[in-house]
Amino acid sequence: MGKHEKFQPIPSFETNPAQYRHWSLAFDGAVATLTLGIDENNGMRSDYLLKLNSYDVGVDIELRDAIERLRFEHPEVRTVVITSDIPRVFCAGANIRMLASSTHAFKVNFCKYTNETRVGIEQASAESGVTFIAACNGTASGGGYELAEACNEIYLIDDGSSAVSLPEVPLLGVLPGTGGLTRLVDKRKVRRDIADVFCTKAEGFRARDAVKYRIVDGSFPRSKWDAGIAAKASEASARHATRSETGVTLTPFKVDVTETSRHYTTVDLDLDLKARLATITVKAPTEAAPADAAALRAEGAETWSFRVWRELHDALQHLRFNHPTLGLILFKTTGDASAVLAHDATLYAAKGDWFADEVLWYQARTLRAVDNTSRSMFALIDEGSCFVGSLFEIPLACDRSYMLEDEDGAVTVQVTEASGGAYPMATNMTRLQCRFAGEPEKVNEALEAGSTIDGPDAYDMGLVTMAPDDIDWEDEIRIAIEERASLSPDALTGMEQNLRFVGAETPECKIYGRLSAWQNWIFQRPNATGDDGALTLFGQPERPTFDWRRT
């Protein structure tokens, strides 16, 4: 840790609208308004002020919560307007003081978390059919414009001073860390020469040029601003069928926390700090599966198919931010495999019901968070495991999987329709397609296997990495863990991120794979974060000193 860097654990990734300090939600029929009014004195740390609606991870924890609650608690909402309650300022982006004084690991994880919230907005639009409108009633710079880019439509007030900009390269010596570059050319289809000008013009573009170059979709003068945005929100809502479903409340987690563990109702996270090892154990349901879609909705956030993935997502976030030196995650499962399959069956049979669909999409988001976790991941499939159906996606997401070959064949896995497209990766491929990119015929072989598969057969089919017998099991696992712990974490992160994303890139894949890797590198370069780097000296009278060599 550098002499200016600070690390502070994040005690909770849970919140709710009654606890929001930076956002407010208002509802008017099918239109929701999400207003950013950041309390500059209420950052996650006390060494910076969140001026000009600049944000830290606490702001984004609230934003993620708001998006999830809109999807689950307010299915009637068809349009979300995101705006600011600070005159002439929409959002100044990530707080520079916070970034400059944070550890390298925190910087990278912060960018990843903000990326996941922005992608979450786009997924809510694509999956739930909600239109998001960025009503930039003031300047949107850096991450503020990137927040707008995540929306379906962007409108900028034409008041002679407000602008949109991505000033990270000229001012900070880093990249727009929340997908700004990718969305500019891949999503908004801005010409790359114009994008080049925009990304090196610190002051950005005001309304006229921003509209001309498709950097925003339109503008209104201040005198017509409120009416113009209201009309756009009404138009957007009219494009969707009215929904009158009753929402499902996102209940708080029940979790016991110690220095070395987090025990939820369906997920256990255990930490071995000395060995730099984390073990996540996912438990099968102990309650009967709901009978149908109505029963699923009645159980709501407490139904196993939803609760287990919410708890897994929370555990992953704590690992990412609060335990940066734990380099290897062991995934295990325990419980009745038939109970997992029964809950899966109810969920898949209920497809088309709004709540069932939202749960499936949430499961997919959590699995993509597993894909994007910069830790080595091994799945251990042994006695008492229940890696079947939806839970078999976890071994497919891991870097390696070890399955015990037991004499009586009691240790098995089962591939179901869950692996046939319910949970696409960021590349839009299934994890089976990713695994068998060079042997596509094996995808159908796995999907058509039908029944349980023991260790030797799973190994022969390519579904697991190794299948040691009970004599070799403990030594194989011990050696694999010790070997992984001895390797460079920097090299492992780069290797894993490259190997996990097979096939053609999508914008989402580029954001997580390419952007994250480059930002990771740039954050460690003296041109950005050295004592005389641009990010370190931002706001100071001294100019940064650059190493002018291109590398």
> Does pLDDT of 549 surpass 60?
yes
Strand 412-413 to strand 453-454: parallel, antiparallel, or no bridges (unpaired)? antiparallel
* Cross-strand partners of 26: 33
Of residues 35 and 8, more confidently modeled: 35
For 107-161, what is each residue's pLDDT tens digit? 999 999 999 999 999 999 999 999 999 999 999 999 999 999 999 999 999 999 9
Asked whether this chain's domains 19-164+205-238 and 256-491 adopt the same fold, the reply is: yes
CB proximity list for 144: less than 8 A, separation 6 or greater:
53, 90, 91, 92, 93, 136
For residues 177 and 158, the answer to whether their CB atoms sit within 8 Å is no
CA distance 350 to 360: 10
**Residue range 27-35: average pLDDT?**
97
- Closest listed residue to residue 347, CA positions, set 307, 298, 306, 391: 306
- Closest listed residue to residue 333, CA positions, set 286, 416, 266: 266
For 478-527, what is each residue's pLDDT tens digit? 999 999 999 999 899 889 988 998 999 899 988 887 777 788 888 888 99
State the DSSP string of 233-275. HHHHHHTS----PPP---PPP--EEETTEEE-SSEEEEEETTT
pTM over 0.75: yes
Q: Could you say which of 3.90.226.10, 3.40.50.2300, 3.30.590.10, 3.40.50.720 is the CATH number of the domain covering 19-164+205-238? A: 3.90.226.10
SS3 at position 325: coil
Determine which helix (DSSP H) or strand (DSSP E) holds 197, and give its type and residue range: helix 192-200
CA distance 296 to 312: 20
**C-alpha 84: how far from its chain's center?**
24
SS3 at position 413: strand
Q: Where are the domains of the chain?
A: 19-164+205-238, 256-491
Would you say the C-alpha torsion 418, 424, 425, 430 has a positive or negative sign? positive
For 289-321, what is each residue's pLDDT tens digit? 999 999 999 999 999 999 999 999 999 999 999
CA distance 224 to 483: 64
CA distance 285 to 24: 36
For residues 69 and 77, the answer to whether their CB atoms sit within 8 Å is no
**Residue range 15-44: average pLDDT?**
97
CA distance 120 to 63: 10
How much of the chain exceeds pLDDT 70, in percent?
A: 99
For residues 485 and 492, the answer to whether their CB atoms sit within 8 Å is no
Considering the domain delimited by 256-491, tell me its CATH architecture.
Alpha-Beta Complex (3.90)
Which token pair is 22?
Answer: 């930076």
**Terminus-to-terminus CA distance in the chain, angstroms?**
24
Q: What pLDDT shows up at residue 4?
A: 60
Q: What pLDDT shows up at residue 407?
A: 84
> Does pLDDT of 7 surpass 80?
no
DSSP 19: G
